[in-house]
Amino acid sequence: MAILTKKFNTLHDTAPFGSINNEDFAPAFDIAIEKTKKEIEAIIKTTDVPTFENTIEALAFSGLQLDRISNIFFNLHSAETNDDLEKIAQGVAPKLSALGNDITLNSDLFERIKYVYDNTNKDNLTSEQNTLLTKYYKDFVRNGALLNTDQKEELRAIDEKLSLLKLKFGENVLAETNAYQLFITEEDQLSGLPEGLKEAAKELASQHNKEGWLFTLNYPSYIPFVTYADNRELRKEMTIAAGKKAFQQNEHNNEQIILDIVNLRHQRAKLLGYESHAHFILEERMAQNPDQVKSFLNDLLLKAKPAAHEEFQELSAFAKETDGIERLEKWDGAYYAEKLKQQKFNLDDEKLKPYFQLENVLQGAFEVANKLFGLHFKEVQTIDKYHKDVQTFEVINQNGEFIAVFYSDFFPRKGKRNGAWMTSFKSQYVRNGQNERPHVSIVCNFTPPTPSKPSLLTFQEVTTLFHEFGHALHGMLANTTYPSLSGTSVYWDFVELPSQIMENWCYEEEALSLFAKHYLTNEPIPMEFIKKIKESASFLEGMATLRQLSFGLLDIGWHGQDPSNIQRIKDFENKEFKEINLYPDIAENAMSPSFSHIFNGGYSSGYYSYKWAEVLDADAFEYFKENGIFNKKIAHQFEKYILSKGGTEHPMVLYKKFRGQEPQVEALLKRAGLLK
């Protein structure tokens, strides 16, 4: 406990994972919560007239110890969880929710904030200070500061229930992912599978004391299996297993949890005076309201649908011609898409993977960051790790100044949730003249090395690494005063710009030549492969766009209306997907019960932001392409106005300062091959 509540005596103040025990967390949370309460009480009890400094700034720097403990704990809960941590999370979530409400519903504190908001000459504040003041005032109003006592109690009860339901949702998805195993003993059933995947499956089986091959629903196992396995029945089994996670009649079913979450979110929004949860959320987004989101998604849908239907017909005809498949099913999609891609471009992941050894790709991301922003990454062994697979780096700028600590965690394991994400163990901020530098991490689930091969990435995994690294740059290059405006603390529909723009370098010869080298011979990736990577970038893009838009529309469907009349998850999804679905429905599958982004993550009413950010990133990268993909001047502008600024100004203001204009949707349509 003591180690978590005192200043860490470590290099760069990094978390001392090796000295932290699970039982340290609960009492440390209690101490930090009490300390935060005292800091808030000190602000309220100040007898001086409320000012920006003694109220707003004091509030901005309150709870730093609690934030630090929370960052460490909840990052472990996502990347290295166990039964003990899950129990602690269930215990601490209501306490954190209650503290949040204690602060935002405190009428004395709000009075001071309101006084500063009403009586401060905004011209005397910096743009960052103005943003912080407005943010606090609106946050308090949006979280119930103007409610009466009974309404505030109702809000507290809703928030406590939601915090537990969201945790339970995530734990159910993880439990269902871990519960399924496909064990194969007959080698002929492995037909079509890449050697690396078979080797990894054999290794996994041996870890479970079995002779044969073991496949799971973790992405490095599941995705290549349904992409390459010739055995259609096994592809079907895996696809259905993935699609019914938390949608089975067992203790991990998420159906009622979803209905409870959406109804509680709606009740909360109505209590605060909003038409729906989406109206509440989108008030603080670039998109502003659900109508604008639906208009944006439906406009793209209109442009993507004809191409998607043409592509689906082509894929169906190809499957019929190749194997006599009369009706293309969901378990056929990835398999025949890969075969058609090979036929069209003579290019598949198995040809590319030898050129994408994980260590080289990571080094490539570092070199791109060096060419653009002058950053140097030096691996250090003297920083504590929470797992042996984690790597730790010092990040230094071109002037030799320390910028950040960077953690990478790339391989799946039992206590780690699926997917890929960027996170932070410590935020950047400036206090008492000291620029506290951030500790940033990217977490992925790539195929681990085997006894005979290093970790070799698919091209999609390469873009995933660059994507998360883009988020990491947003965190590492942060240079703001206040922690709540630092790094990725921006509007949700702006946060994906730094990540998605980085993916573009993966398609450029000038960047690929830095790191795409054969793991055995060190030969650079052949020019013909680079050409085909670029040519195939928009392959089946209409179908991919339709899929992404369907998720955004499902999200707005759940959150943009009164959900109280929704009885059955499956019926609701069928209605929402009616005009979008290409494949026949699978009765025993549903999307929502494992849709963690919107029910356990931060994307409720915000899933559209992936497409929104694609417009931003396509337009921004077009600027680079016009002037050179490693153009120092444009990179400096991107760092100055986007990466370093965090949420200190409205994102459209920042974007226009960088680009000189508002983003143009045509750049995305052109890149996606959807402009006729």
42 and 134 together in one domain: yes
Do the domain assignments include residue 184?
yes
pLDDT tens sequence across 377-403: 999 999 999 999 999 999 999 999 999
Share of the chain above pLDDT 90, in %: 88
Do the domain assignments include residue 329?
yes
Rg of the chain on CA atoms, in Å:
25
Q: Which of 473, 474, 415, 408 is nearest to 444 (CA)?
A: 408
**Residues paired with residue 396 on neighbouring β-strands, in sequence order:** 376, 402
Do the domain assignments include residue 445?
no
Contact in structure between 383 and 432 (CB atoms under 8 Å): no
Cα torsion 647, 649, 655, 659: sign: negative
Q: Which of 232, 233, 477, 461 is nearest to 373 (CA)?
A: 477
Please tell me the distance from the alpha carbon of residue 620 to that of residue 637, in angstroms, as a whole number. 11
The gap between the terminal CA atoms of the chain, to the nearest Å, is: 62
For residue 20, the model assigns a pLDDT of 94
For residue 355, the model assigns a pLDDT of 97
| Boundary of a domain, candidates 606, 631, 646 | 606
> Quick one: pLDDT band at residue 669, thresholds 50, 70, 90?
confident
Do the domain assignments include residue 570?
yes
Share of the chain above pLDDT 70, in %: 100
For residue 306, the model assigns a pLDDT of 93
The alpha carbon of residue 373 and the mean position of all alpha carbons in its chain are separated, in whole angstroms, by 23
24 and 140 together in one domain: yes
DSSP 493-506: TTTTHHHHHHHGGG
Residues in Cβ contact with 632 at an 8 Å cutoff, skipping those fewer than 6 apart: 372
For range 122-148, the mean pLDDT: 94
Vertex 209, ends 205 and 210: CA angle to 5°?
A: 55
Between residues 671 and 329, the one the model is more confident about: 329
For residue 584, the model assigns a pLDDT of 96
199 and 141 together in one domain: no
For residue 493, the model assigns a pLDDT of 85
Q: What is the DSSP letter of 376?
A: E
Tokens for 547? 């899929």
7 and 138 together in one domain: yes
Residue 1 confidence (pLDDT) above 60: no
Do the domain assignments include residue 215?
yes
> Quick one: pLDDT band at residue 347, thresholds 50, 70, 90?
confident
pLDDT tens sequence across 173-195: 999 999 999 999 999 999 999 99
The residues annotated with a catalytic role in the active site are 468
Torsion angle, alpha carbons of 113, 118, 124, 127, to 10: 70
Look-up: residue for tokens 């707005």? 556
CB atoms within 10 A of CB 538: 16
pLDDT tens sequence across 59-103: 999 999 999 999 999 999 999 999 999 999 999 999 998 999 899
For residue 220, the model assigns a pLDDT of 87
Residue 575 confidence (pLDDT) above 70: yes
| Boundary of a domain, candidates 606, 634, 652 | 606
Residue 151 confidence (pLDDT) above 90: yes
pLDDT tens sequence across 259-268: 999 999 999 9
> Quick one: pLDDT band at residue 5, thresholds 50, 70, 90?
confident
H runs (alpha helix) in 46-148: 58-60, 64-79, 83-104, 107-119, 127-142
Q: Which of 15, 51, 40 is nearest to 109 (CA)?
A: 40
For residue 676, the model assigns a pLDDT of 61
Please tell me the distance from the alpha carbon of residue 234 to that of residue 242, in angstroms, as a whole number. 12
233 and 319 together in one domain: no
11 and 139 together in one domain: yes
Q: Buried b vs exposed e over 512-532: b needs ≥16 C-beta within 10 Å? A: bebbbbebeeeebbeeebbeb
For residue 665, the model assigns a pLDDT of 85
Residue 670 confidence (pLDDT) above 90: no
Do the domain assignments include residue 515?
no
What CATH number has the domain bearing residue 6? 1.20.1050.40
Please tell me the distance from the alpha carbon of residue 343 to that of residue 441, in angstroms, as a whole number. 39
What CATH number has the domain bearing residue 313? 1.10.1370.10
36 and 130 together in one domain: yes
For range 406-417, the mean pLDDT: 94
9 and 142 together in one domain: yes
- Domain of 79? 2-104+106-146
Burial of 562 (0-12, 13-18, 19+ CB in 10 A): middle
CA distances in angstroms from 333 to 136, 373, 390, listed in the order given: 48, 40, 34
Burial of 551 (0-12, 13-18, 19+ CB in 10 A): buried
289 and 228 together in one domain: no
Please tell me the distance from the alpha carbon of residue 71 to that of residue 423, in angstroms, as a whole number. 9
142 and 185 together in one domain: no
| Boundary of a domain, candidates 556, 578, 606 | 606
How many domains are there within the chain? 3
Cα torsion 295, 299, 300, 305: sign: positive
CB atoms within 10 A of CB 11: 13
For residue 134, the model assigns a pLDDT of 96
Q: Which of 150, 63, 146 is nearest to 110 (CA)?
A: 146
Mean of all residue pLDDT scores within the chain: 95
Torsion angle, alpha carbons of 229, 235, 237, 243, to 10: 130
Do the domain assignments include residue 635?
no
DSSP 405-424: EEEEE----TTS-SS-EEEE
Q: What is the DSSP letter of 674?
A: -
Tokens for 94? 């209501």
> Quick one: pLDDT band at residue 674, thresholds 50, 70, 90?
confident
pLDDT tens sequence across 596-642: 999 998 899 999 998 998 999 999 999 999 999 999 999 999 999 99
22 and 93 together in one domain: yes
Do the domain assignments include residue 138?
yes
139 and 185 together in one domain: no
Longest dimension (CA), the chain: 82
Look-up: residue for tokens 């390469």? 462
